[in-house]
Each structure stands twice: as C-alpha cells, then as structure tokens.
Amino acid sequence: MTLNIAHGRGLSTYQGFHGAKGIERNLQRIINLLEKTQPDVVAFQEVDEDSHWNRRIHLLDYIKEGAGYAHSYLGVHNRRAGPLPLAYGNGLLSRLAIEHAEHEAFGQASLGEKGFCYTELSLASGHLPVVNLHLDFRSRRRRIEQVERLIGYLEARHAQKGGEHYFSPLICGDFNSRSGKPGDAVRHLFSYLEGHCAYQLLPTSGRTFPSILPIHGLDFIFVPPTYEVSRCEVLRSFVSDHRPVLVDLKIRD
C-alpha cells in the first residue's frame, strides 16, 4: 500500500488545528484501515517524527504499535530545531524484516523538502527492494530533476548489489503528477524503467486526490515483471486528503 497521510490531520486543512487527541483519532482511523486491508508493506508520505504542529507525536511509531507491524523505517527529509521543531519525511511499515534502509533528501530545506527512502526487505528467495518516493508539487522541472536523482541512486545501488537474487525495485509514492501527462515525472520514470524491463504502472485507472471527490491520480506503484499482479485498487477512504493504492502481488516462479 502507498498512502500520503498528510501529517495525521485527516481531512482538515492544517494539522496544527488539532490537539493531541484529534491527531490520535486520525491515526486510529489509519490503523483501522490497515487492520481491515492487511497490507504486508506500507509506504507512507508526510510522516512526522517530532513536529510541533501535530503535538510532537511520532506518527509512524503510533501506527506501528496500533496496527501490530514488526518493522519500520522513517527517513526524515525535513528537520528544524528551536521552539517550533519540525522533523518529517517518508515512512515504511513492514511485516518482512528490513535488511537495509537509507534515505535521501532532494535538497536542504527545513520545510517542504521532498525525498525518497530505499529499503531491502527479506524474502526466502532473496530481497524485495522498495522505494518510497515523494516529489515536489510546484514545479515540473524540479520533479524531473528529482526523478533523475532517484535513477542515479538506483543505478549505483544496482551496480553495488547485483547478483542473481537481486530483484528490480517496487517504486511507490506520491508523485504529484498525473500518469498521462507527457514530459512530467511519472512518464519520465516509467520510460526509464521500460527501457530495462516490462514494468507495470498502477493503478491504470482511478484517482487518488483529493480523497473526498478525487479528480487527479497522483499516487502510483511501479511493479517490475518479477511480480504477478492479482489485484490493484484505489480504496475509498477518508483518512487523509489522498486515497490509498493497494496492490496484491505474487512472486513469479
């Protein structure tokens, strides 16, 4: 599953409007969603570690404990100290052991910075690499630059790792661009991946933003041919201003 949790604010316009109890109620709705759908791996964006605007609640730890996940990783791309601290980025929950995890911010801003997390999860047959990505929402040029940064990272990681048990990564997240828009981030990344193997871009239909009445598809999962897709669904959910994308996968023999 991939889902932008919008700092735990639910459907409100700003997380600072909530007290601790309000944030916890919104997090419980996310926990209920996970308990209902039972994803093995969950990629979250806009996840706070220690931010004043949502009462310094560690969002990923709260959801992890409530939903009963064994493993987690949080890559903080924004960090600001002082009387109004901020610390947030992309988070991953997993029922599979995390063998390797790292993250990279695209810049050095303390507010609004985007980035990605890269994790390798343990499988009996090898590794499951997962990229959790969040791209800039304002600038197409910046999104393309960010995708190029990711491509460079993946090529370096592949050259370092390699081997017969190395799977092509699942790539998911909030791309802040539509899949059918030429020259934007989703098509740019998909064209690169298609040049290496027959990736699927999911969902093929269905919109994710805003969740009340979605008009844009901004959230995607790129699936390599290593996996057989048995189901893909954009869930009708109001835990955030984004709707979650859920994909059921089976490793091909």
pLDDT digits (tens, 9 = 90+) for 34-45: 999 999 999 999
pLDDT at 252: 79
CB 124 within 8 A of CB 97: no
Per-residue pLDDT for 187 more than 90?
yes
The overall average pLDDT reported for the chain is: 95
Provide the residue type at 151 as one letter.
I
d(CA 114, CA 48): 13
Out of 71-80, 158-167, 183-192, which region has the weakest mean confidence (pLDDT)? 158-167
End-to-end CA distance of the chain: 23
pTM: 0.96
Out of 90-94, 139-143, 159-163, which region has the weakest mean confidence (pLDDT)? 159-163
- Residue found under tokens 């990681």: 157
Q: What is the mean pLDDT of residues 170-175?
A: 98
pLDDT at 167: 63
Q: Is residue 162 very low, low, confident or very high in pLDDT (cuts 50, 70, 90)? A: low
pLDDT at 102: 97
Q: Is residue 12 very low, low, confident or very high in pLDDT (cuts 50, 70, 90)? A: very high
Structural domains present in the chain: 2-251 (3.60.10.10)
Show Cβ contacts of residue 191 under 8 Å, excluding neighbours closer than 6 positions. Answer: none
Show Cβ contacts of residue 223 under 8 Å, excluding neighbours closer than 6 positions. Answer: 170, 199, 200, 201, 202, 229, 247, 249
pLDDT at 196: 85
pLDDT at 124: 85
Provide the residue type at 135 as one letter.
L
pLDDT at 119: 97
Per-residue pLDDT for 165 more than 60?
no
CB 102 within 8 A of CB 117: yes
Per-residue pLDDT for 166 more than 60?
no
Q: Burial, 185: exposed, middle or buried (Cβ in 10 Å; 0-12, 13-18, 19+)? A: buried
Per-residue pLDDT for 66 more than 70?
yes
pLDDT digits (tens, 9 = 90+) for 85-128: 999 999 999 999 999 999 999 999 999 999 999 999 999 888 89
